[in-house]
Amino acid sequence: MSVGATKIPVVVTEVVEVNSLIKRFRFVREDGGEMPGFSGGAHTVVEMDDGGTRRLNAYSLMSDPAERSGYEISVRRDDTGRGGSLFMHRHVKPGMRMLISPPVNLFGLDLRAKKHLLIAGGIGITPFIAQMAQLNALGARFELHYAARDRELGAYMTELSARYGDRVHRYYDVEGQAIDLPALLRGQPLGTHLYVCGPKGMIAWVLGTAGGMGWPKGALHSEEFLAPPVGQPFTAELAVSGITISVGAAQSLLEAIEAAGVEAPYLCRGGACGQCETRVLAAEGELLHHDHWLTDEQKAACGHIMPCVSRFKGARLVIER
Ligand code: FES
């Protein structure tokens, strides 16, 4: 996907306040047609014009993949972030026209699995809502373990329990409830695949525990999109384009490249997919790597940067773009 990729013109038909932090949005095609098909775990990139700043944020699709009349996403408000979620919460209203990307799935189900064990933390529930609809339609075996801070912030817990009964297990931090992960993992039949989506610490805990217990890597799936961090402004020279760009404090390097009219590839815009990887030709200063795509060795070698989330501090940065 890139600046030139085909976008889908949509109309916002519904904005629902799910709780004090989360709103749900429904998009339908402006031309009244069907949305492109997707599978559970896919995301779309929503384009926003935030006071002259073009923001592109990725959100998991949570609607039923079999239902092609529209897409639904949920957005958790981040009061200290760069503004994308605040824009969605404050400015996006029913009737508004927007552009979204065709769906991309970097967190797909492995349908060869004998059973699907889904572990969600907080807003990490959204891809699982679509995945459970898909698994249920297929008659596949699954169970969800969903942890939230408290009952108010446990978005969709009641609805999911009503829909899927004892396949949904709920945990509230403030009530001292926690997933007994070693026991849960020990009790799974051979051929189970494990999926986790939530905060960074939770993903590391789940994958680390499963890995330590001998679960095969191929049976472990995770999704963590980082929001591009704010930071100090810096400049970057684009060697192929022959221009120098300024990257603002609340702008990612990728957004600054795009704002200069230079095409750059991306899929997740959250440091996870590897699509935006760019060669660093010179760096007089420090590359601030925020992605979880490059290895520690690659980060230390300073030969590449993921412009969707990573930044720079220093006198001169030259990248191959
Ligand atoms: S766009 Fe996915 S890592 Fe940058």
Q: How far is the CA of 269 from the centre of ligand 1 (A)?
A: 4
CA of 114 to the centre of ligand 1 (A): 31
- What DSSP character marks residue 20? S
| Ligand 1 atom nearest to CA at 268 | 2
* Burial class of residue 288 (count of CB atoms within 10 Å of its CB; 0-12, 13-18, 19+): middle
Alpha carbon distance 274, 292 (integer Å): 9
Task: Please name the helix (run of DSSP H) or strand (run of DSSP E) that holds residue 25, with its range, or none.
Answer: strand 22-29
Q: Which mutation among 269, 298, 299 tests ligand 1's pocket best, with the greatest number of atoms within 8 A of CB?
A: 269
Determine the residue of 104, 266, 278 to mutate for testing ligand 1's pocket, defined as the one with the most ligand atoms within 8 A of the Cβ atom.
266
Residue 277's pLDDT band (cuts 50, 70, 90): very high
Distances (CA, A) of 21 to 47, 61, 88, 182, 262: 21, 18, 12, 31, 35
78 DSSP assignment: -
CATH 3.10.20.30 fits 234-319, yes or no: yes
Query: Average of pLDDT values for 2-24?
Result: 89
Q: Measure 251 CA to ligand 1 centroid, in angstroms.
A: 15
In the beta sheet, which residues pair with residue 220? Answer: 194
Indicate the pTM of the whole model.
0.92
Q: State in Å: Cα 105 to ligand 1 middle.
A: 13
**In which region does residue 32 sit, left (phi positive, over 0), alpha (psi from -120 to 50) or beta (all else)?**
left
Separation of alpha carbons 203 and 234, rounded Å: 31
Mean pLDDT (whole number) for 282-292: 96
Span 40-81, pLDDT tens digits = 999 999 999 888 888 899 999 999 999 999 999 999 999 888
User: Pocket around ligand 1: residues whose beta carbon is below 6 Å from it?
Assistant: 266-269, 271-276, 291, 293, 306, 308
- Domain borders along the chain are 8-105, 115-223, 234-319
Q: Is 141 exposed, middle or buried (0-12, 13-18, 19+ CB in 10 A)?
A: middle
Cα angle for residues 48, 272, 261 (degrees, 5° grid): 45
Q: Given this model, what pLDDT does residue 1 score?
A: 58
- Whether 150 has a pLDDT exceeding 70, the answer reads yes
d(CA 220, ligand 1 centre) in Å:
20
Determine the longest span between alpha carbons in the chain, in angstroms.
59
Atom number of ligand 1 nearest to Cα 309: 4
- Supply the mean pLDDT for the chain: 95
**pLDDT tier, 3 (very low <50, low <70, confident <90, very high otherwise):** very low
Residue 285, Ramachandran bin (φ over 0: left; ψ between -120 and 50: alpha; else beta): left
Average pLDDT over residues 157-169: 97
Measured from the Cα of 265, ligand 1's closest atom is: 1
Token pair of 168 as six digits: 């949904």
The CATH number of domain 115-223 is 3.40.50.80: yes
What confidence tens digit (pLDDT) does each residue in 89-130 have? 999 999 999 999 999 999 999 999 999 999 999 999 999 999
Specify the residue with its C-alpha closest to ligand 1, atom 3.
271
| Between residues 5 and 120, the one the model is more confident about | 120
Fold type of domain 8-105: Elongation Factor Tu (Ef-tu); domain 3 (2.40.30)
